[in-house]
Amino acid sequence: MKYRKKPVVIEAMQWDGTAEGARPIIDWILREGGTAVYTCSDPVRCSEHGGDTPHTIAITTLEGDMNASLHDYVIRGTRGEFYPCKPGPFADTFEPVDPAA
């Protein structure tokens, strides 16, 4: 049996991978009642400064904690839940919506 995804409108923000770019995403998640934390185990070596230490936004999802990485989208789903999504699957699944619609 085959299935088609229902047409739904979601909210999403793409993370540029920086600490500064994490702030509006985390603020949005917290404002909407979610939980998220920016983490970098060694700020001097974070990858945004040319280092090799990855940094993430840890998001509490319906399935447990998940990490958003560089260029991931953070999605607010139809039930108010937040979760990360890689750019490829995001582009395969979603398209921009006219704000007037």
Q: Residue 98 falls within a domain, yes or no?
A: no
pLDDT of residue 50: 58
Q: Residue 28 falls within a domain, yes or no?
A: yes
**What is the pLDDT confidence band of residue 20, given thresholds at 50, 70 and 90?**
confident
pLDDT of residue 90: 95
| pLDDT above 90 as % of the chain | 56
Q: What is the pTM of this model?
A: 0.82
Q: Which domain holds residue 44?
A: 11-93
Q: Residue 3 falls within a domain, yes or no?
A: no
- Cα–Cα distance list, 37 to 1, 3, 14, 28, 56 (Å): 40, 35, 16, 12, 8
- Cα–Cα distance list, 88 to 39, 72, 79, 100 (Å): 24, 9, 23, 26
Q: Residue 76 falls within a domain, yes or no?
A: yes
Please tell me the total count of domains within the chain.
1
For residue 61, pLDDT over 70 is answered with yes
Q: Residue 44 falls within a domain, yes or no?
A: yes
